[in-house]
Structure 1
Amino acid sequence: MNSKVENIYQLEGRVPVSKAIPFGLQHILAMFVANIAPIIIVAGACGLSSKDMAMLIQSAMIIAGIGTIIQLYPVWRLGSGLPIVMGISFTFVSIFCYIGPAYGYEAIIGAVLIGGLAEGILGLLAKYWTRFITPVVAASVVTAIGFSLLSVGAASFGGGSGSADFGSAKNLILGGITLACCIGFNIFAKSFWKQLSVLFGLVVGYVVAAAMGMVDFSALSDASVIALPKLMPFKPVFHPGAIVSVFLIFLVSATETIGDTSALASSGLGRDVKAKETAGSIACDGFISSLSAVFGCLPITSFSQNVGLVAMTKVVNRFTLLMGVIIMILAGLFPIFGTLLATLPDAVLGGCTIMMFGTIVVSGIQMISRCGYSQRNISIVALSLSVGIGFTQVPEIFSIFPQIVQNVFAENCVAVVFLVAIICNLILPKDMESKSEKAD
């Protein structure tokens, strides 16, 4: 391997385009399904048309590409300079599936616009507050995110909430075939190909769905071949409850970004992350999310899938990732591509995502394990998860609180877990073990 090709394992340096493209494309393929899945889920919950869904997919690929470029090559104090790949965040799916049906998709856009600006500013001020987001708080939140998404995956698996044929045999069979393909590919594929198991399941599931007559291709006839994304396709509505709840999830997203940035510096570069890199990464998340809202799309954040890919392959070269990003942006300029993806049946999406969501739960548990099972950590995790998940299963328990509090917390377990974990982390004594030993 010549020196230029070896540069794929270095942050800086040029790599031959013929080598950079496949390695860069691998990163895009690893996050491709996860990038469009939140849009399909949220758009379906909000009752958007296939045409609107296709437009959002188109915007998502372009905005994710722009965000990734800024992470790779920082602008002012925005961006980390690390090989971080950006995409539509799953973290917000559960709250959007509540806000959208309740207040409309326009309320989601308004909340993302404000919340993104707030996270961006917080990123610029990161050195003043990141000490409060300890690893055990982040671990509790990630675990809660996974649990909150399980019902979303199950609903898609059954054919989509509210669909006339929900839970029908054909939906369950289609979801089962898709899931089996994902698992089988993950078992038998070698090396980095394992990262494409979800994409493989999606392709096979889509082909099977088409053969079963479950794919509606009628929207393709009206799709243009090439077009620019639309500016403000949805007029933002600024609903106070939606803004507060989404802002809380932006704080959650920031904790995930901190974890992703730290993990990438450690596993990919073999060093600790720098404070400047963490601040730039969070700021990029926030401001790019607001830009995404301007184009009618959902929040953008760093992708953990790609952090895992870096850890496995050690490919960290920024130019290499740039080649993949350029391909993604070009794909976003062709609306017919997004229209085709928008025809994806819910059952196929459910088969692809149900295991993905379960993996998020496992990731949270692994994070808890790395924090250690001290009495203090166990107390924080146990209380935040039991209150956050338990109370939101019976939202009537919040009935004595003002309506805005109910809107934010009653059915949003992630927000409750985050709040309880933060409070516990602040008030529980650091030396709980020593106090307990003295009491004995």
Structure 2
Amino acid sequence: MTKEKVNNKEMDAIYTLDGKISLLKAFPFGLQHILAMFVANITPIIIVAGASGLSTKDASMLLQSAMIIAGIGTLIQLFPLWKVGSGLPIVMGISFTFVSLACTVGAQYGYGTIIGSVLIGGLVEGVLGLFAKYWIKIVSPIVAATVVTAIGFSLLSVGAQSFGGGSGVDNFGAVEHWILGMVTLVSCILFNIFAKGFLKQLSVLFGLVVGYILALCMGMVDFSAFKDVSIVSLPHILPFKPEFNINAIIAFVLIFMVSATETIGDTSALASSGLNRDATTKETSGSIACDGFVSSLSSVFGCLPITSFSQNVGLVAMTKVVNKYAIATGAGIMILAGFFPYIGTLLATLPSAVLGGCTIMMFGTIVISGVQMIGKCGFSQRNITIAALSLSVGLGFTQCPEIFDIFPTLVKTVFAENCVALVFVTAIILNLILPKKMEQQ
């Protein structure tokens, strides 16, 4: 076989799930996936670490672990262990879904309570994932679409807070934060407009680089943490002592159910757009189980829950590159990066306003994705009722949390300031009780 035929055969293998390709061919495709999710993988850690009062040193340590756990989670999705993992080209990373709740719990109870809640909540989701075939039908497409929309709305205030300089800073909303945030945001938009092909996926990374360079010029980057950083380091096991608060655990378990809903949607979307078929129950079950059990493993390293990344599903849909080994190369890159603390420490120096400029755009995209999902479900009377009432109750009631004062503390902890949880529960109840064909009633 000629060299040209070998190369053509190898390139064709890129578009098949189990095709055999060389490391040289796999590397750029794997790197592309990592670049598409890298910023989104580290941002939740930075936001929650700041809200929980952790030091820059602790934050950089967690970023190191976040990169490793994202790589491990992706490998398990690609190459399942027993029934854990889907066998599909799903890229995993630290979840945005838990940011709002984690910020609240971290500020009120401390970071150790977050870790204890993630440990228990992940195990619950993992077990439920193994038995998904018995309950998955109650999470209909309209429920998943409504929840995704709510997640986007719930994160907008988090992005705005970062844009203003971060939680607790003395000069919140100062002109320098506005400058950094606006320059970063405009850079993201311009890159997205003028970049071609898959490069559009890197608009957030481009904006982050531009904003960071500007922050350096403005003297707003603190490098003091580098004096205690080694060149190579192993991840820390249980860097924070887990603490178990029943209210926080229940709240996290509920949001893990929301995360499972997102994972169902991502798994279905990937199978449809990348493989031109529906996801099997086995694949969906393994995907959810991986989501849960690897999240518990993440807590052992001091990290937040992990989940499938929608932006990488979009990348697969655009490029049609579904090869396991190509994406596994990206996971390997992420794991290696996690063993070099200088990378995590550098990322931890990112000013909050720069992250705000990036995340405002990212969070808005999540809202639009949810709206598009609702559109795909169709605007039947039943679907409109589920989406409209769930969003109205979830977003409306949590704007005035005192409305929950008549309820026990546990209910207030779970729902009063967590619109995603309230939207999820409302949507599930409506989906169960509303007639299937309301138009004919």
TM tier, smaller: over 0.9
Paired residues for 1:272-421 under 5 Å: 272-421=278-427
State TM-score, norm by structure 2.
0.98
Q: Deviations over 1:191-249 (max 9, x none)?
A: 00000000111111111101100000111121111111100011111101101111111
Give yes or no for the alignment of 1:71 onto 2:77: yes
CA separation in 1, counterparts of 2:139 and 2:420?
A: 15
Name which of 92, 112, 117 aligns with 2:118: 112
Match 2:148 to one of 142, 152, 163: 142
Q: Which residue of 1 aligns with 2:4?
A: none
Report the secondary structure of 2:14's partner residue: helix
Structure 1 residue aligned with 2:24, among 2, 18, 22? 18
Output the CA distance in 2 between the equivalents of 1:105 and 1:281: 27
The whole-number CA distance in structure 2 between the counterparts of 1:13 and 1:422 is 40
The code of the aligned residue for 1:116 comes to G
- Partner amino acid, structure 1, of 2:133: K
**Residue number among 4, 20, 25 corresponding to 2:10 in the alignment:** 4
Alignment match, 2:214:
208
Out of 162, 172, 184, the position equivalent to 2:190 is 184
AA matched with 1:332: G
The one-letter code sitting in structure 2 at the alignment partner of 1:349 is L
**Cα deviation digits, residues 27-58 of structure 1 (max 9, x gap):** 00000000000000110111100001001000
**Which amino acid counterpart does residue 217 of structure 1 have in structure 2?**
F
User: What is the rounded CA distance, in whole Å, between the counterparts of 2:437 and 2:29 in structure 1?
Assistant: 48
TM-score where L is the length of structure 1: 0.98
Post-superposition offset of 1:5: 2.1
Report the number of matched residues: 435
Unaligned ranges ≥5, structure 1 = 436-440
| Counterpart in the other structure of 2:136 | 130
State the match for 1:154 in structure 2: 160
Offset at residue 322 of structure 1 (A): 1.1
Deviations 1:250-303 (A, max 9, x none): 000001100101111110011111111000000000000000001110001100
Q: Distance in 1 between matches of 2:207 and 2:126?
A: 36
**What is the SS of the residue equivalent to 1:301?**
strand
Between the aligned partners of 1:266 and 1:373, the Cα distance in structure 2 is 22
Q: Give 1:2 deviation, angstroms.
A: 1.4
Match of 1:268 in 2: 274
Partner in structure 2 of residue 56 of structure 1: 62
In structure 2, give the amino acid aligned to 1:62.
I
Task: Give the aligned CA root-mean-square deviation in angstroms.
Answer: 0.7
Deviation at 1:16, TM superposition (A): 2.2
> In the TM superposition, what is the alpha-carbon distance from 1:423 to its structure 2 partner?
0.8
For 1:431 and 1:138, the matched residues in 2 are separated by 19
SS in 1 for 2:303: coil
Q: Secondary structure at the match of 1:5?
A: helix
C-alpha displacement of 1:165: 1.2
Answer yes or no: is the 8 Å Cα contact 1:156–1:350 preserved in 2: yes
For 2:202, the equivalent position in structure 1 comes to: 196
**Preserved CA contact (<8 Å) 1:5 1:16:** no
Offset of residue 4 of structure 1: 1.3
Identity score, percent: 72
Unpaired runs of 5+ residues, structure 2, are 1-6
Instruction: Give, in whole Å, the separation in 2 of the partners of 1:155 and 1:119.
Output: 30
CA distance in structure 2 between the aligned counterparts of 1:92 and 1:414, rounded to whole angstroms:
10
